[in-house]
Structure 1
Amino acid sequence: MPQITVDYSDRLADDFDRPGFAQALHTATVEIAAAKPPACKTRFRRTADDVVGPETEGHAVVHVHIALLAGRTEETKARLTEAALELLRQYVKPAAGLALHASAEVRDLDPSYRKFEDR
């Protein structure tokens, strides 16, 4: 915990500092949601096809999913969501003429969530 997944348009492959974003989001998650630094895990999934409204060109999409163990207030979740969006503004610089559609959400992990570490 937290489990962070970032879906992003293939068109942003060269315009998105993913390692920088992940490190900054981990820091924000520790500060805002009291997560432990070694527990922060982010994976990035590149999407090949994005359609915004009736258009298939000229748009790029980024969506950040943050899943935390239950117990955070709605205010904490909202603060973390806003922080994720602000970090996207810093770490995603789309090419000229490309409209960026960015979103984020924070949700509770299901009570069935379990994990293990194999060293």
Structure 2
Amino acid sequence: MPFVTVEYSERLAGTFDRRAFAREVHEAAPTGINASTEAFKTRFRVIEESYFGADEDDIDAVFIQAAILSGRTPKAIEALSETLLEIARKHVTGVAGRRLHVMVETREMERDYYRAHKE
């Protein structure tokens, strides 16, 4: 915990350095929300198909969602979103002739209801 889920357009597979993104997120993001590097878990999913606006088919996208345990200040949550956006912009490059949209949502999970098992 925290969980970072990244969905990205299939066309970006060759221009998105996912390993570097995750490594930098795990190093930089924990300080603002009082979490450890070891606590961060990042996973990636390819978006095979997506639609934007009114038939806009020249857009590739990266959607980042961070789920953190409740109890952080609004300022800390906002700072995490900004950090994730900044790191993503460093590690993904748009495909020539296409537009790139990068979006981040940080949400809280209720601490009282979160459970995990580790071996």
TM-score (normalizing by structure 2): 0.93
> What's the RMSD between the two structures over aligned residues?
1.2
CA contact (8 A) 2:29 2:84 kept: no
Matches within 5 A, 1:33-44: 33-44=33-44
CA deviations on 1:46-74 (whole Å, 9 max, x unpaired) are: 11011111235321111111111111100
CA contact (8 A) 1:50 1:56 kept: no
Equivalent pairs: percent with the same residue? 37
In structure 1, the partner of 2:25 is 25
CA contact (8 A) 1:50 1:59 kept: no
Provide the C-alpha distance between the structure 2 equivalents of 1:7 and 1:56, rounded to a whole number of angstroms: 19
1:99 aligns with 2:99: yes
Aligned length: 118
For residue 105 of structure 2, give the secondary structure of its aligned residue in structure 1: strand
Amino acid at match of 1:91: H
1:45 aligns with 2:48: no
Provide the C-alpha distance between the structure 2 equivalents of 1:44 and 1:72, rounded to a whole number of angstroms: 25
| Residue ranges of structure 1 left out of the alignment (5+ in a row) | none
For residue 106 of structure 1, give the secondary structure of its aligned residue in structure 2: strand
Provide the C-alpha distance between the structure 2 equivalents of 1:38 and 1:24, rounded to a whole number of angstroms: 13
CA contact (8 A) 1:7 1:47 kept: yes
Give 1:33 deviation, angstroms.
1.0
Matches within 5 A, 1:1-119: 1-55=1-55, 57-110=57-110, 111-118=112-119
Amino acid at match of 2:77: K
Structure 1 residue ranges, 4+ long, deviating more than 3 angstroms after superposition: none
| Residue ranges of structure 2 left out of the alignment (5+ in a row) | none
